[in-house]
């Protein structure tokens, strides 16, 4: 945890904060901080800054907070991610949140198992938890938006064209296409398939919507690895 993320409910006065639970345990057990130490903090969807520990016990911690810095600039990237298995989903959400992606669409695909859509990790609270972990890692405060699209064809035909308007559409696919672009200046919508990739029909539908195929060479990568590799290559 490189940043303590605060919410309005944490404030006990204009500049005073009281924290318990996971943030407190992290400060005690990992940072091993003491009264008078300074910590990096940020308001969720707000500014960054520093906080001085004014009191610290095993039950609670009180901070004097100053927020006067802007968070890192978001990436001009929307990621369409075929819903991965739960463990991979958790890692992917954390990675995307850390990298600065602010819109993530979890979509259906032929190779997405139906049971994945019943996973408790798709609950609003669980998704929020993974996004916050990513923000804390990267010292960011701007929470990404996550949208669920459970039907491939209606999404691609009816809603994706509007989402793609004015942007560059790229679909990661190991067969054909061009090498992944590097240091692009465009706003991009990036589609990444499930384990095994999109089936040919799905690639064709994305191409009809205006996407172009890209690849990372001959190696076949896990979803969370491809997410990180492509995002980092597109925007250094």
Q: What pLDDT is stored for residue 222 in this prediction?
A: 85
Q: Which of the four pLDDT bands, split at 50, 70 and 90, describes residue 200?
A: very high
- Decide: 134 and 94 in contact? Cβ < 8 Å: yes
For 12-76, the DSSP string reads SSSSEEEE-HHHHHHIIIII---TT-EEEEEETTS-EEEEEEEEE-SS-EEEEEEEEEPPPPPPS
Mean of the per-residue pLDDT values of the chain: 94
Q: Which of the four pLDDT bands, split at 50, 70 and 90, describes residue 218?
A: confident
Q: Could you give the domains of the chain?
A: 4-69 (2.40.240.20), 77-234 (3.40.1280.10)
- For 87-129, the pLDDT digits (tens) are 899 999 999 999 999 999 999 999 999 999 999 999 999 999 9
- For 176-185, the pLDDT digits (tens) are 788 989 989 8
| pTM check: above 0.85 | yes
- Decide: 2 and 46 in contact? Cβ < 8 Å: no
| Cα separation, 201 vs 9, whole angstroms | 48
Question: Nearest-CA neighbor of 226 among 136, 129, 123, 99?
Answer: 99
Classify strands 145-149 and 103-107 as parallel, antiparallel or unpaired: parallel
């Amino acid at each position: 945890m490189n940043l303590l993320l605060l919410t309005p409910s944490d404030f006990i006065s204009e500049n005073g904060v009281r924290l318990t639970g996971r943030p407190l345990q992290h400060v005690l057990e990992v940072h091993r901080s003491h009264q008078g130490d300074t910590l990096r903090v940020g308001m969720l969807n707000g500014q960054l800054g520093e906080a001085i520990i004014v009191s610290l016990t095993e039950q609670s911690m009180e901070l004097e907070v100053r927020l006067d810095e802007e968070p890192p600039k978001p990436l001009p990237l929307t990621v369409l991610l075929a819903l991965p298995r739960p463990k991979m989903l958790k890692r992917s959400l954390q990675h995307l949140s850390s990298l600065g992606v602010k819109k993530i669409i979890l979509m259906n695909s032929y190779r997405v198992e139906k049971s994945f859509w019943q996973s408790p990790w798709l609950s609003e609270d669980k998704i929020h938890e993974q996004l916050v972990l990513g923000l804390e890692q990267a010292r960011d405060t701007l929470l990404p938006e996550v949208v669920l699209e459970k039907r491939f064809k209606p999404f691609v035909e009816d809603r994706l064209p509007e989402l793609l308007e004015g942007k560059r559409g790229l679909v990661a696919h190991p067969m054909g296409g061009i090498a992944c672009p590097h240091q692009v200046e465009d706003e991009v919508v990036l589609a990444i398939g499930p384990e095994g990739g999109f089936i040919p029909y799905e690639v064709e539908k994305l191409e009809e919507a205006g996407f172009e195929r890209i690849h990372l060479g001959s190696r076949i990568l896990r979803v969370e690895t491809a997410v990180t590799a492509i995002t980092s290559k597109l925007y250094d």
